[in-house]
Amino acid sequence: ASGEGAPAPTQSAVPGIRKLIAVASGKGGVGKSTVAVNLAVALARQGLAVGLLDADIYGPSVPTLLGIEGRAALSDGRLQPAAAHGIKALSMGMMTDPKKAIIWRGPMASSALVQMVEKADWGVLDVLVVDMPPGTGDIQLTLAQKLKPDGAVIVSTPQDLALIDARRATAMFGEVNVPVLGIIENMSGYLCPHCGEASEPFGHGGAEAEAKAMGVAFLGRVPLDIALRLASDAGRPGEGAQAEVFAGVARAVAGSVG
Ligand code: ADP
């Protein structure tokens, strides 16, 4: 009833989920999951209905980061995401025994993940944030193709090796026509909590320069912060000095996907 010629309401490929945002990195250990969780919580604090899918099959860390224990429940044959910190979350870590290695082959893993988006009981979401598996291999490419995210956020540390991989990740999303919303520089500088000296174990500013060179937005920098690591390990996202940074990233992301 919105009148003729009005644009169709924007909708992701999955009914009920308005926008899908992938959080990706060219390699592991750069803080992708930390960013995904804190971004999801920051988006929820801005009034959006937010889901988080932990698609990091080989190292699912979202349950720990959100303080969720146990397996995902099934109701009427549908997987039920768990509620925590104002968001809904589903993780490969809630499907499997944490003590057993996950040895799924690529095609099986990507189809399981697509089902976790399409068939789980997410309800109505403004945004589903997908914490992608690290890297730019077949699984990542297949996921990007099948999930058709509305945008991707790339996480990198400032040093050259990570940036080369971030460039690959950006190119991968380009290949499947997923807009890269921007790059976040994580572990950008370290402020010693004891002596107050600022140091730069991975250099600094590399991701911003790289973003500029690739013509994508720079979304901000998160320093190496012991408080962030401790809060993450304790399953308490959205706390401390970095909450402000993530709020800014959330505004930029929400603004660019509409
Ligand atoms: P990835 O998902 O890229 O593998 P994680 O988000 O799991 O990386 O982060 C790897 C480790 O680094 C975790 O222990 C996490 O708490 C820590 N970490 C991530 N970002 C920061 C940061 N800015 N300051 C301190 N610790 C961080």
pLDDT tens, the chain, 258 aa long: 444 555 554 556 788 999 999 999 998 999 999 999 999 999 999 999 999 999 988 788 999 999 999 888 989 889 999 999 999 999 988 887 767 666 667 778 888 889 899 989 999 999 999 999 999 998 899 999 999 999 999 999 988 777 888 899 999 999 999 999 999 999 998 878 788 788 888 777 888 998 999 999 999 999 999 999 999 999 999 999 999 999 999 999 999 988
Beta strand spans in the chain (E): 17-24, 50-54, 73-75, 78-80, 82-84, 87-91, 125-131, 151-156, 180-191, 198-199, 218-224
| Rounded Cα gap, residues 79 and 95, in angstroms | 10
Q: CB within 8 A of 70, min separation 6: which ones?
A: 94
pLDDT of residue 200: 85
87 lies in some domain = yes
The answer as to whether 222 is a domain residue is yes
Structural domain for 130, as ranges: 17-257
Q: Would you tell me how many other CB atoms lie within 10 Å of the CB of residue 130?
A: 26
Residue 145 domain-assigned (yes or no) = yes
**39 in any annotated domain:** yes
Q: Is the distance from the beta carbon of residue 135 to the nearest atom of ligand 1 less than 6 Å?
A: no
Please give the pLDDT value at position 151: 97
Separation between Cα atoms, residue 156 and residue 185, nearest integer Å: 5
Q: Specify which residues 182 forms β-bridges with.
A: 153
Sign of CA dihedral 185, 186, 191, 192: negative
Question: Considering only CA atoms, which residue is closest to atom 22 of ligand 1?
Answer: 224
User: Does the model's ipTM exceed the 0.95 cut?
Assistant: yes
Tell whether pTM > 0.90.
Answer: yes
Which CATH number do you get for residue 81?
3.40.50.300
Residue 78 identity (one-letter amino acid): R
- Residue 102 has what pLDDT? 64
Asked whether residue 109 is domain-assigned, the answer is: yes
Residue 153 CB partners (closer than 8 Å, separation 6+): 21, 22, 23, 24, 35, 39, 180, 181, 182, 183, 184, 219, 249, 253
Residue 10 is predicted with a pLDDT of: 55
Look at the chain and count its residues.
258
In a domain, 6, yes or no: no
Annotated binding-site positions for ATP: 26-33
11 domain residue, yes or no: no
Residue-level pLDDT at 170: 94
Residue nearest (by alpha carbon) to ligand 1 atom 12? 31
5, part of any domain = no
Query: Is 235 touching ligand 1 by the criterion CB < 6 Å?
Result: no
User: How many domains does the chain contain in total?
Assistant: 1
From the CB of 201, is ligand 1 less than 6 Å away? no
Residue 37 pLDDT: 98
**Is 32 a pocket residue for ligand 1 (Cβ < 6 Å)?**
yes
